[in-house]
Amino acid sequence: MASSDNQPQWHRFQILSLFGGGIRGILSAAILAAIEEDLGVKISDHFDLIAGTSTGGIIALGLGLGLTPKEIVDFYISEARSIFGDRFKLRSLKQYAASKFSAEPLAVALRKCFKEQRFGDSRKRLIIPSYNLGDDDVYVFRTAHHQRLARDYKVPAWKVALATSAAPTYFPATREVDSIRLIDGGIWANNPTMVAIIEAYGTLGVPLSSLRVLSLGTSEEICDRHRDLDVGGFWQWKTAAVDVVMRGQSLAATNHARFLIGKDNLLRINPPVPSGVLALTGLGVPPISLERPPTIVARKCRLSNRCFGAI
């Protein structure tokens, strides 16, 4: 990707932010596919920067490398069982002492999907969060959209996808990129909206007033926090802790973004679902039509006016 140092003054700069969420990324891809069908557009043509974490990072890479959202949906459907298979239902027990799944099926699926393409082959500006366990610090993959960004463009796309989606306790850390111990970017930026805004404003010099963001989640579970949590210890919080932390992190990122760019310049789509319907590694087809998610029908007009104007 060419350097953007000589970028003209931005009248409108559009960001697509894609959340993490495991196999639930199929819902995000399905929503994008429905937008393409409803509005007769190529989704990637309408965004200047795409940010994605974990499963959202896989989708972002796919869009940047020319896949359609429908092809990404097909990827999830065809590869889910090989990546998350648990034939004898013993992996949950294994997870107490080791990663629940092997990284090999995921790596094989990603290599098959992205082939020999490099991160720098993306047709769009991309920003993909990960986390460096060795340095105990955040790690961000960025396409070469500025002259000082020359580190990541040669990295094979499948290795970037593996690094952003190596969720602790589900997959082992990957050392495929310069032997660095990388894990899921959802540790710190499961909702990468603020990461993208900072990149646009701080690196590309886009005024905050020019930014427009479509923030797309992987569903939001409706749940009632049990009163035992009020005074609970490790046992009471063992399942709720991660969910509460991730939800709080995501809401904070969205609220900060709305404060910076204006609430009318950020559209957040994160369909609510009943508790337990869409598991992080569930293999069943979501009980929502992948052909036409109902969220799209209600928000189509707002979406077309707010996010698909002239860039």
- Give catalytic status of residue 54 as yes or no: yes
Among the listed residues 44, 54, 130, 219, the single catalytic one is 54
Over residues 171-182, the mean pLDDT reads: 96
Q: For 228-237, write each residue's pLDDT tens digit.
A: 878 788 888 7
SS3 269: strand
Among the listed residues 4, 165, 184, 219, the single catalytic one is 184
For residue 135, the tally of other CB atoms under 10 A from its CB is 10
Strand-pairing partners, residue 184, are 130
Q: How far apart are CA 57 and CA 221, in angstroms?
A: 21
> What are the start-end ranges of the H helices in 165-239?
186-189, 193-198, 234-237
What was the pLDDT predicted at 243? 80
Q: Are 28 and 18 in contact (CB under 8 A)?
A: yes
| Type of residue numbered 171 | F
Question: Distance between alpha carbon 246 and the CA centroid of its chain, in Å?
Answer: 13
- Give catalytic status of residue 28 as yes or no: no
Pairing of the two strands 137-142 and 211-216: unpaired
Average pLDDT, the chain: 84
Q: For 123-142, write each residue's pLDDT tens digit.
A: 999 999 999 999 999 999 99
Q: Whole-model pTM? A: 0.85
- Written as one string, the DSSP assignment of 179-192 is T--EEETHHHHSST
